Amino acid sequence: MSKSLARVRKAIEEIGLDAEILHPGQSRTAEDAAKACGCEIDQIVKSLIFQGESGQIYLFLTAGGNRLDAEKGASVAGEALLRADANTVRKVTGFAIGGVAPIGHLTAPRIFADPRLRDFGTVYAAAGTPDHVFSVAPGALFAACDATEAEFTQ
């Protein structure tokens, strides 16, 4: 088991989160992940990492079919944002791009969540690797990672 997957599993256990880790295989897109999980595209939680001008890291948990609107994202963060580079993502979260989980970070970023995810009983978020996810109720996920719900999508 990878260190990243083990860290997510440990976080799930420590939080007491009612979640199940699944291994649907590597998915490059939200569409691929939805097919592999047998769910709607918006049940896939995309983890988008941005860095503010201040250096602060932000994680936007977005429904799979939605796209982040740069102006709305900057507005909720309170500063201009740039997409964080792969090295920054790995250094801060401990995860590689494509496997960034909403929990189990080395350093917790500020997290915002797309309200669209609440439209489902279950969503699927990355579990630390590009080919593992965990299923969880969206409200429980938001509470577990201390996410602030906000409108930041197009």
Q: How do residues 12-60 score in pLDDT, each as one tens digit?
A: 999 999 999 999 887 888 999 999 999 999 999 999 999 999 999 999 9
Q: How do residues 66-85 score in pLDDT, each as one tens digit?
A: 999 999 999 999 999 999 99
Q: How do residues 99-134 score in pLDDT, each as one tens digit?
A: 999 999 999 999 999 999 999 999 999 999 999 999
Whether residue 130 is contained in a domain is answered as yes
CB contact set of 16 (below 8 Å; sequence gap of 6+): none
Q: Is the pTM of this model over 0.85?
A: yes
User: Strand pairing of 133-136 and 110-113?
Assistant: unpaired
136 pLDDT above the threshold of 80: yes
Q: Which domain holds residue 56?
A: 3-149
Domains contained in the chain, number: 1
**CATH code of the domain covering residue 25:** 3.90.960.10
- Measure the CA–CA gap between 76 and 131, rounded to whole angstroms: 30
